[in-house]
Amino acid sequence: MTKTYAKPKEMSELVSSQSWMDEALSSQDEMKEEDSRQAPYGMMAGLNEEHDSIEEEEEEEDGEKPKRRGPKKKKMTKARLERFRARRVKANARERTRMHGLNDALDNLRRVMPCYSKTQKLSKIETLRLARNYIWALSEVLETGQTPEGKGFVEMLCKGLSQPTSNLVAGCLQLGPQSLFLEKHEEKSPVCDSAIPSHTFNYQSPGLPSPPYGNMETHLLHLKPPTFKSLVDPSFGSHHPDCTTPPYEGPLTPPLSISGNFSLKQDGSPDLDKSYTFMAHYPSVSLAGAHGHTSHFQSTVPRYELPIDMSYESYPHHVVGPQLNAIFNE
DNA sequence: TAGGCCATCTGGTCCT
DNA sequence: AGGACCAGATGGCCTA
């Protein structure tokens, strides 16, 4: 964010010199329609008490009062007021549309998260946090080729998430609550310690102040499973997000959704030993191009079988990210 | 009832 | 000039 804003003083001066604005605001009592119902934060109230632009106009004619310096206030005619209101109404509509677009994008993001639920929607902030963790976790899996162990992977996903969201993630990934709970980290942040209710299972996301996030490397140091040792090992070099990974400017990586498709034992119960079989939702076009019609992921990461869900439709970009492209094209 | 989350309005700033 | 983006304010809804 490189935007620079005017200093407060400059802003106030700017506001005070903007005669049309307080005129418009001072004429607020004329606004009887829907948009006038909201006159937020004191500014308006303060402005419309004293100044009446029409009075200012009149003061020029009776010579008794000292002449004011600065720009002359223009009379707030009905036409100007209408223009002002029309502009405001238009801007409001644009802003609504913009926010709806933002929310739609957020909804799309929710759908490709490991735990998507129409009934229990992740909040905006939790969606973004989970997305960040998800990208991070998947990147590490791809780059290291290591097997994500069940708990460890969930821990990565849950870093910095609220307790309810962590529970949701753990639940969606069908990780046994007890196993997760009992083998939790010895290293706990004070923040998280204080957040554990005792009456129910709660997956506690380990040691991440939230917000803001701390350094990813320090988070990785909290990871116990040997699977992720490599992630903090400098010899593994440049692949952790906060360090030296060059910014990715290529096409979007398609959503890779772990959707709770665990291997099942013969009795139908989930086999947690073979958990985290990845269910990839790849657009068929890119896959056909890259790998014929096979839907199995066989490459530098042979451990993971990625059955392709051809029914996935919502992702518009028939592209794969560079890492997956490299794998597919081998 | 307090707190979290959200939608909306609004004015300021930047950009085209 | 007008649109996009941003952040503050506000009020409504929901839940613990």
Token pair, residue A241, equals 């997000």
Rounded distance between C-alpha atoms, residue A327 and residue A141, angstroms: 13
Strand C close to A96 by CB, under 7 A? no
- Identify the CA nearest to A143 among candidates A43, A46, A243, A292: A243
Which residue in A175, A114, A181, A187 sits closest to A149, CA to CA?
A175
**Measured CA A91 to C1' C2 distance, in angstroms:** 10
User: What value does the mean pLDDT take over residues A42-70?
Assistant: 36
pLDDT tens string A3-41: 232 333 233 333 333 333 344 434 333 333 444 433 333
| Nucleotide nearest residue A34, measured CA to C1' | B9
Q: What are phi and psi of A57, to 5 degrees?
A: -60, -40
Q: Is residue A318's pLDDT more than 80?
A: no
Closest nucleotide to residue A2 (Cα to C1')?
A: B14
pLDDT digits (tens, 9 = 90+) for A102-147: 888 888 898 888 787 777 888 888 899 999 999 988 888 888 887 6
Q: Provide the CA A231 to C1' C16 distance, Å, integer.
A: 39
Closest C1' nucleotide to A106's CA? B6
User: pLDDT band at residue A212, thresholds of 50, 70 and 90?
Assistant: very low
Contacts by residues A190-197 (CB-CB < 8 Å, ≥ 24 positions apart): A195/A163, A196/A163, A197/A163
Query: Is the Cβ atom of A5 within 7 Å of strand C at any atom?
Result: no
- In this predicted structure, what is the pLDDT of residue A311? 24
Strands (E), A255-318: none
pLDDT band of A313, cuts 50, 70, 90: very low
A27 CB neighbour count, 10 Å cutoff: 20
Would you place residue A174 in the very low, low, confident or very high pLDDT band (cuts 50, 70, 90)? low
Nearest protein residue, CA measured to C1' of B4: A123
Strand C atom within 7 Å of A83 CB: no
d(C-alpha A11, C-alpha A6), whole Å: 6
Question: A90-94 long-range contacts, Cβ below 8 Å, gap at least 24?
Answer: A92/A35
Footprint of strand B on the protein (CB under 7 A): A 3-6, 10-11, 14-15, 18, 21, 24-25, 35-36, 38-40, 43-44, 88-89, 91-93, 95-96, 99-100, 103, 121, 123-126, 162
Classify residue A142 as exposed, middle or buried by CB count within 10 Å of its CB (0-12, 13-18, 19+): buried
C1 nearest neighbour residue (CA to C1'): A87
Q: Does the pLDDT value for residue A321 go beyond 50?
A: no
* Residue range A140-156: mean pLDDT, rounded: 78
Between CA A151 and C1' C6 the distance (Å) reads: 39
pLDDT digits (tens, 9 = 90+) for A229-267: 333 333 332 333 333 233 333 333 333 333 333 333 333
| Each residue's pLDDT tens digit, A50-61 | 333 333 333 333
A87 CA: nearest nucleotide by C1': C2
What's the pLDDT score for residue A148?
64
